[in-house]
Each structure stands twice: as structure tokens, then as C-alpha cells.
Chain A
Amino acid sequence: MSGNREQGTGNRDFNDGWVAGARPATATSGVAANPFFEYLLRLADDRLVLGHRLSEWCGHAPILEEDIALANIALDLIGQASMLLKLAGEVEGNGRNEDALAYFRDAIEFRNAQLVELPNGDFAVTIVRQFLFDAWDVLVLERLTAASNQVLAGIAAKALKESKYHLRHTAEWVRMLGDGTAESHARAQRALDDLWPYTAELFLGDAIDAAAVASGSGVDVEALRPRWGQTVEQVLAEATLAVPKDGFAPRGGRTGRHTEHLGRMLADMQSLARAHPGAPW
């Protein structure tokens, strides 16, 4: 019965939207009432969704050591998401804690880039996706350590240490797969070609980003693209992989438009918390 309060919160949000025929303010509107809350959701949801995707490998990775490594990275990301969602809940000021934000929002309310919600595919897809994200993430976190919001700066400092290791690990794997066997090379190149278009969204800024930058607690993501390109292209060259050409670039994750894959992932991720609201485990 200790879960009644959580359950009440979840149902209220759902019913209000349903009965009134309107989504919560955060769901669809591009201009949010609280842009910093929106900004924190973007930071948090990238980590929550990618962390959950990685956790799906637990017990399935090609070798024990890598199984543990992927689970470690997943735990790092989910830990970062937890801290960021807690801060987001406080900034929002509506009494939602990190669990309410993680488990009682629907896909349309998630603010992650589409890259991180894509299915794991084979091992090459998982590694290449993680590498492309890590190279971006380290740059973002480096800048957020100087955020004017002290809590955010502290979270970034802790997360940066973790993400630097993630990048070291996934860069090494990209080299091994690309410069490995004919089979691993082909799979890594295919993964890179498939995922490359989704990286563009990481560098798209909008009014939410601009407001965060103006307040001293945001990152100008567009300005990160050249350095990201240098890091990525150097590793890809060492991996004997070809850098794909920029072309059509899906977007929309930052405003709640997602691929079909996120909803299914969330159904899995949120089912336990929604079946047993407030249950500690």
C-alpha cells in the first residue's frame, strides 16, 4: 500500500490528459513553460534510454568480460540519468521525483535523440552507436562542468570521468571490429552507415538549448560538431572504416517525436514500475 501515492500521481497525469483532451505542457509544445526543465530532460533521457538499451545485453554479450563492461556502462548512464531527472523534478517543482519522470512518462514526453533509442542490432551496431554517442557526450559534459547551476556542474564532473572511460572502451572496440576480420569489418561499416544519419540530431540546437546556454548552464551543441568530427574520423581511420557522407538526417527526438522503437522499449522498461507503483527493489 506504500505505493498509493506514486500510483495516484501516475493516474492523475494520465487522466488529466485524457479527459481534458490536452497533453501535459511538456508533451508537444516546442516552447515549454520551463525551458531548463526541458533541457535537463534532454540530457537525462539520452542516458536513461541508452542505458536501458545497453542493459538489454546483460547475459547476452559475446564474452563474459564484455558482458560486464556493457553492464557497467549501462549502470553509469542510468546513474547519470537518475541524478539529472532528480534535478529536473526539482526544477519543475511539481513534486515529480526521478522515478516518476523515468517510469510515468510516455514516449511522446521523452526528449532523447533518436540515435539512442534504436534497437541494439548486432554487437557492431551497439558498439558503433555507443562510440558515436560517447564522442559527443564527453564534449557535452566537459562544458557542463562549468555550468552556472552547481548541481548540474557536479553531476557533469562525475559523469565526465565515467564517459571518458566509455569512449576509451568503445573506441578500442571500433578499432578491433573495423580492423579485425572481413566479417567484423563489414558489420562495423554497415552499422556505421546505418547509424550515421542519426548523429546529426545531436548537433541541432533550438530555443531550449539557446536559453540554457544564455543562462550559463547549457552547451552550444552546433559548435561541438568539428571536434566531434575530428575524434570520430581519427578512430574510424585507425579502424579502416569509411566515414559516411552526410545526407538525410532524421530529427524530432528532442521535441518528443520518436521512432516506433522507443514505445516498445519503454513498455518493457516501465512495466514493472507501473504494475507495482512505488515498489522498492
Chain B
Amino acid sequence: MTNDSVSATGGATTAAETQWDLWEVFTQEGEGAPHEHAGSVHATTAEHAMQNARDVYARRGKVVSLWVVPTGAIVASAPSDAGPLFDPGNDKAYRHPQFYKTPRGARGL
């Protein structure tokens, strides 16, 4: 059955016929918590993506909310942008929160 690749067009199967779109899945593990990237699923529609995300990433554990996003809708930084975008400025230590001592009595921070 898995080898049954009869094409609707009668010819060789195309990628569009055998490959579903990719969707990125974000799960939230509690109210107020951030939605975090969990992985990706293949699906044909948003509803289908939601179901597959639920089955693959949300059936175990304590997920309370799901987002699915078409992978193509994500704008990603390029590896070559790493310098300009992410150079943390280590020469200016005062820019990092760790530079500052936590006041006594503020242990919950």
C-alpha cells in the first residue's frame, strides 16, 4: 500500500503530489508561558497541520495551546548576518544584566 503511487495525472508523480507543505509547530506548556518551537509537520491545510501537530507534539505532556505556521511564512536570518545581528558587545560589560548586583531582598528575580 505504501508503494501505491498511482498518479492522478497518469504519469510520474511530481513533488507537489507526494510532498505536503511544511508547517512549524509551537507549543505552550502553561498559561502565560511562551509558545516555543517544538518541531515541524507535513500537512495540506491549516486544520490538517493543527491535527498533525496535536498528534505528534501535544498528545504527551501538558500542552495548553498550539500554533502552526507555514514554514515559508517565517523570515529567518542568514548565517552571514551573524556578525552584524548578534555580536553581543562583550567589550561593554555594563550592557549585560549580569553586570549589576542583585539587591538584597530581591531573591525572586
Taking a contact as CB atoms under 8 Å apart, the answer to whether B51 and A168 are in contact is: yes
Q: Is the CB of A65 within 8 A of B1?
A: no
Does the CB pair B44–A176 fall under 8 Å? yes
Residue from A63, A122, A123, A181 whose CB has the most chain B CB atoms within 10 Å: A63
Check A183/B42 contact, CB under 8 A, given A69-B51, A72-B55, A168-B51: no
Q: Is A220 an interface residue (CB 8 A)?
A: no
User: Residues of A contacting B2 with CB < 8 Å?
Assistant: 60, 62
Say yes or no for B64: interface residue by CB 8 A criterion. no
> Binary interface profile of B, 35-63, with partner A (CB < 8 Å = 1, else 0)?
00000011111011001101110010000
CA A192 to CA B1, docked complex, whole Å: 19
> How many interface residues does chain A have, given as a range?
10 to 19
User: How many Å lie between the Cα of A66 and that of B51 in the bound state?
Assistant: 10
Contact indicator per residue, chain B 1-21, by CB within 8 Å of chain A (1) or not (0): 110101010000000010010
B39 → A minimal CB distance (Å): 11
The verdict on A224 contacting chain B, using a C-beta distance below 8 Å, is no
Is A172 part of the contact surface with B, judged by Cβ < 8 Å? yes
Q: Which chain A residues border B17 with CB–CB below 8 Å? A: 181
Q: Which A residue sits closest to B19, measured CB to CB?
A: A63
Report the separation of the CA atoms of residues A60 and B3 in the bound assembly, to the nearest whole angstrom: 10
Cα–Cα distance between A85 and B66 once the two chains are bound (Å) = 34
* Contact status of A183 and B56, CB under 8 A, knowing A60-B1, A63-B20, A63-B42: no
CA distance A169 to B54 in the complex (A): 11
Report the bound CA distance from A95 to B31 in whole Å: 45
- Asked if A172 and B47 sit within 8 Å, CB to CB, the answer is yes
Give the complex CA separation of A122 and B4 in angstroms. Answer: 10
Q: Give the residue of A72, A168, A182 whose beta carbon is less than 8 angstroms from that of B8.
A: A182
Let me know if A31 is at the binding interface, CB within 8 A. no
In the complex, how many angstroms separate the beta carbon of B40 from the nearest chain A beta carbon?
10
Task: Kindly state the separation between the CA atoms of A46 and B41 in the bound complex, as whole angstroms.
Answer: 31
Question: Mostly helix, strand, loop or mixed at chain A's interface?
Answer: helix
Nearest-Cβ distance from residue B16 to partner chain A, whole angstroms: 11
Indicate whether A69 sits within 8 Å of B52 (C-beta atoms), given known contacts A172-B47, A182-B8, A183-B8. Answer: yes
A-B contact pairs, 7 of them (CB 8 A): A60-B1, A63-B20, A65-B52, A68-B56, A168-B51, A172-B51, A176-B44
Give the docked Cα–Cα distance between A123 and B55 (Å): 18
Contact A65:B56 (CB < 8 A) given known A168-B51, A172-B51: yes
Please determine whether B44 and A65 come into contact, CB atoms closer than 8 angstroms.
Answer: no
9 further A-B pairs in the complex, CB-CB below 8 A; given A68-B56, A172-B47, A182-B8: A63-B20, A63-B42, A65-B41, A65-B55, A72-B59, A122-B1, A172-B45, A176-B48, A183-B6
Nearest chain B CB to A35 CB, angstrom units: 36
* Measured CA separation A128–B38 after assembly (Å): 31
Q: How far is the CA of A122 from the CA of B1 in the complex (A)?
A: 7
When distances are taken between beta carbons in the complex, the residues of chain A under 8 Å from B4 are 122
Q: Within the complex, what minimum Cβ distance (angstroms) separates A214 from chain B?
A: 38
**Cβ contact of B42, chosen from A65, A72, A165, A181, cutoff 8 A:** A65
When C-beta atoms are compared, the residue in chain B nearest to A184 turns out to be B8
Q: Which residues of B contact A64 (CB under 8 A)?
A: 42
A262 CB, min distance to chain B CBs, angstroms: 22
